[in-house]
Amino acid sequence: MRFRTRRLLSKIFLAGQFLVLASVLSAGQEKTALTRLVELPRQGSPLFLEGDIKHGTNHVYSFNGQKGQHLALQLKASGDLVFKIQTPNALITKDSVDHWEGNLPESGLFTIEIRYRSPVGSETTRAHYNLVVFSGRSSPNETRTTLTRQVEVHNDWQRPEIKEFIEPGTSHMYGFTGRAGQTLDLQMKVAGNARASIYAPSGGSTLEGANMIYHWHGELPADGKYTITVTAPAAVGGPHSRPRRIRYSLSLRVS
């Protein structure tokens, strides 16, 4: 009788341990809430990806890359989010990073997985993120991007203004969502040598007449993510001269 009781208690104990282990493993498993195939931007153009992610889930973006292609990724979020990049055969990044830059080791289909850093947390927790993917390496004659930001462009009675300082030899990038047929008006004020350019969605070319300008007024050709790039060419000076920061402002509106 005692032997049967001990064996029964042992089975109950093992069953309890199994249930605990199963609950831990299931808690660590994340559900994929979003999958999307994206096209990498042209060299020198950014791709903006944004979304809202729930704790316990992940978002997966796939893209076709070429061996030796240079990429830079930067993740900014309202919560403790990280990402990883991998091929079907190997993990390129560490398991949890918020930025990465390097050359792709092979050609093929790559995936970017965005998730919370820690698996422990409430299922009701949500975070908003912006992931910027920049393709191409800056040469000594090109500028390097030091600021990327998503902005909201409003209608006629609201005209947001962006005010920043920019270093010579650098560029700032702003992404916004536009719709085909909307009229965009951009005005730039600057105390120095800097200009703005507007790029079409998916890392396309600049809009007609919108390359290195102070003012642009025209109709958006398509739905999607547009990019405004503010560029300050490198200053020419002696080896010990220090470039002065340039102050600028951008005013945007749609109608």
Query: pLDDT tens digits for 116-173?
Result: 887 777 666 888 888 888 776 544 345 677 888 888 887 754 555 899 999 888 888 8
Question: Which domain covers residue 192, as residue numbers?
Answer: 144-254
In a domain, 130, yes or no: yes
Could you tell me the CA-to-CA distances from 85 to 34, 67, 224 in Å, in that order?
Answer: 16, 14, 24
Of 135, 152, 183, the residue at which a domain comes to its end is: 135
Q: Quick one: 159 and 104 in the same domain?
A: no
82 Cβ contact partners less than 8 Å away, ≥ 6 residues apart: 75, 95, 96, 97, 98, 114, 115, 116, 117
- State the Cα–Cα distance between residues 85 and 96, nearest whole angstrom: 9
Of 76, 101, 135, the residue at which a domain comes to its end is: 135
Using the 8-state DSSP alphabet, how is residue 5 labeled? H
pLDDT at 60 exceeding the cut of 90: yes
The CATH number given to whatever domain includes residue 90 is 2.60.120.380
Q: Quick one: 113 and 148 in the same domain?
A: no
Model confidence, pTM: 0.55
Q: How many CB atoms lie within 10 A of CB 227?
A: 23
The answer to whether the beta carbons of residues 45 and 199 sit under 8 Å apart is: yes
